[in-house]
Amino acid sequence: MTQQDNPLLAPVADLIDYAQVQPGHIQPAIEALLQTARQAVEAAADPGLPASWEAIVQPLDTATEKLWRAWSVAGHLNSVVNTPALREAYNAMLPKVSEFSTWVGLHEGLYRQYRRLAAAPDFPAWPHVRRRIVELALRDFRLSGVELQGQARERYAQLSDRQAQVSQKFSENVLDSVDGWSLLVEDEAELDGLPQDVKDAARDAAAQDGKPGWKLSLKMPCYLPVMQYARNRALRERMYRAHGTIASEQGEPRWDNSPLIEELLALRAEEARLLGYASYAELRLQTRMARDAQQVAGFLRDLARRARPHAEKDLAELRAFAAGTLGLDPLMPWDMAFASERLREARYDYSDDEVKRYFTEPRVLSGLFEVIEGLFQVRLRDHEVSAWHPDVRGVQVQSPQGQVLGYLYLDLYARAGKQGGAWVDSERSRRVLGGSVQTPVVYLTCNFARPQGGKPALLTHDDVITLFHETGHALHALLSEVDEPGASAFASVEWDAIELPSQFMENFCWEWDVVNRLSQHVETGQPLPRALYEKLLAARNFQSGMQMLRQVEFSLFDILLHETAEPQAIAQVLALLDTVRQEVAVVFPPDWHRFPHAFSHLFAGGYGAGYYSYKWAEVLSADAYSAFEEAAQGAGGTLDADTGLRFRREILAVGGTRPAADSFKAFRGREPSIDALLRHSGLTEQAEAA
């Protein structure tokens, strides 16, 4: 088997020919690369080798990099163009890849080699980044069970393999449950209130099925507008119930995630016990900025305490408006988004749909690129790539002199067979080897509404924020100056700091100078009027108290769930969620609601015992952005190139070469403060008075 026969075996330095990748390529490529990687591990574990980076780490990185690149491609395709054949091919190899990863973590010979490296006489003179990689590797070996013996060692391997399979099945059930539900509406009057572009998309979806009418789905570009705009209360209730019971016992039994949640929690708790930790939360926090679960819970409860008065006021105002103006009394859960949007329209005299007309995808991307180029002194240029779907756009990131820094693949529209949500992943990391630079390749995936009727796609302001958020993640990889992949951002930055660049970028979406660059009315070509921008800005913290408590609710549920050492039945999981809501929430869904069953972040996305990271990193990101606000006081705006270059140098470029706390202090000159987050969220007395 050669590269010509199988695009997954292309040299890592080459771009993948995605258009040629077939499900049948996955198994032979991964099996061949697994064999090569195993041989490289055994070779690196030879105690006769010199205790040097060049003899042990470098050849190991080279061999395993080929495997992880091919597996990243397979996993990405499985997420964005899922088909039965692709799913089968991916799932056939998942246990083998998981087994290899576990085997490496348990490899005592390789562990001894890394200990030799750390004990070598010249180790203190090594480059800092290489010393950090070795030190992190030793930590990760211990957390991967390398010091276990006998039955405990065998059991750990079983646990690791099974967790990967259960998480994959969880995400498949969510995808299938969402794709498997639709509602055909034959009377247009039932869609009263829906924006025209949403109705056009629904009509197209029905036509593709060969049916008249309008096909509604649980994909976000359809579901959210229905909940916000449909005047038909019964339709909203039906959609809300379907969305609230995704992948649960109330739908197709084969897609019920209840047993998978129970099994995964049991597996995680057992893994923690085997490694000598009281809980999975304690285990996971060994690699985070936060010290322990108690500190996390205390941080979240402090946020809840600060946000609660604002949230209670938000809810009281919404209920009064819904009852007095809309006749919605009592206010039901499926009325919340609809009533909130009507209240926002009444209070600030604009609607999301009105604003959306100004944010066309081409203009938003053009403006986003301008912001990146100005802040970080790079160039972004369209680059023709072989892609997995016609929607995909390739972008080359260059230095001002034209040197290639990396490649970005943008895949922005929702479609069947594509996991919901928005995320960034990388195919390969930056690496310097033999004097040549291997540039990073990054995927940025969203689920926005597609273009309709020959017009460009329209983005809500929330969509724009999402795009900026994910771009921050992408820049963390694309603007890396780390020479070794083991210290790249996605490989070694603490999980509760990884959201710093992404949440930081969101702030620019509220700046007038930036909004001017992003907006161009779909019909007139005019930018967003200043008066409408002022309304948008005034509404920035609309219901921010309720939004803060919602995030605290998810985060506290997660950390308390994983702090429990005993197996949890699904009824106990739901009871815990209810207990958390009683403590921190002001809005309560119905008893039949099954939020955990589609909480992919926790059960399929790596955020187990880590969902708090969003709020934790938001403290860092808000404080980092305040440096740009301070720079703007003496200049003309927050797009300050000097501060941007400092952010690039101290945060983006260094990846995981040092602890995130050190990177933050290098940029800000001090420890982080919560004040900026509270101010940006409108949760201070001064903000309330204003």
The pLDDT value recorded for residue 636 is 66
Smallest CA-to-CA distance from 257 within 197, 189, 177, 179 is with 177
The pLDDT value recorded for residue 689 is 38
Q: Give the residue-averaged pLDDT of 660-668.
A: 98
The pLDDT value recorded for residue 1 is 53
The pLDDT value recorded for residue 34 is 98
Residue 684: pLDDT band with limits 50, 70, 90: confident
pLDDT in tens, 180-233: 999 999 999 999 999 999 999 999 999 999 999 999 999 999 999 999 999 999
Question: C-alpha angle with apex 223: 221 to 224, nearest 5 degrees?
Answer: 75
Q: What's the burial of 354, exposed, middle or buried (CB within 10 Å: 0-12/13-18/19+)?
A: middle
Out of 270, 282, 470, 563, which one is annotated catalytic?
470
Mean pLDDT of the chain: 96
pLDDT in tens, 536-556: 999 999 999 999 999 999 999
330 preceded by a cis bond (ω within 30 of 0): yes
pLDDT in tens, 427-443: 999 999 988 999 999 99
Rounded distance between C-alpha atoms, residue 317 and residue 336, angstroms = 12
The pLDDT value recorded for residue 690 is 34
Q: Which of 294-298, 468-472, 678-682 has the weakest average pLDDT?
A: 678-682
Is residue 178 within 8 Å of 420, Cβ to Cβ?
Answer: yes
Q: Give the residue-averaged pLDDT of 670-680.
A: 94
The pLDDT value recorded for residue 594 is 98
Q: Give the residue-averaged pLDDT of 76-91.
A: 98
470 carries an active-site annotation: yes
The pLDDT value recorded for residue 637 is 85
The pLDDT value recorded for residue 633 is 85
151: pLDDT strictly greater than 70 = yes
CA–CA distance from 103 to each of 107, 108, 146, 148, 641 (Å)?
6, 10, 9, 12, 47
The pLDDT value recorded for residue 49 is 98
The pLDDT value recorded for residue 3 is 60
The pLDDT value recorded for residue 567 is 86
| Per-residue H/E/C for 363-411 | HHHHHHHHHHHHHHCCEEEECCCCCCCCCCEEEEEECCCCCEEEEEEEE
What is the three-class DSSP state of 341?
Answer: helix
Q: Give the residue-averaged pLDDT of 474-498.
A: 97
3-state helix, strand, coil in the chain (%, to 5): 60, 5, 30
Could you give all domains of the chain from N- to C-terminal order, each with its CATH number?
7-147 (1.20.1050.40), 182-246 (no CATH), 255-350+544-611 (1.10.1370.10), 361-538+614-689 (1.10.1370.40)
The pLDDT value recorded for residue 507 is 97
The pLDDT value recorded for residue 2 is 60
Ranges of H-type helices in 81-149: 84-105, 108-119, 128-143
All residues at 6 or more sequence positions from 576 whose CB lies less than 8 Å from its CB, including other chains: 557, 560, 561, 564, 568
Q: Give the residue-averaged pLDDT of 651-668.
A: 98
Residue 634: pLDDT band with limits 50, 70, 90: low
pLDDT in tens, 99-144: 999 999 999 999 999 999 999 999 999 999 999 999 999 999 999 9
Residue 153: pLDDT band with limits 50, 70, 90: very high
The pLDDT value recorded for residue 687 is 40
The pLDDT value recorded for residue 635 is 63
Q: What one-character-per-residue DSSP string does 247-306 give?
A: TSTTS-GGG--HHHHHHHHHHHHHHHHHTT-SSHHHHHGGGSSS--HHHHHHHHHHHHHH
The pLDDT value recorded for residue 688 is 43
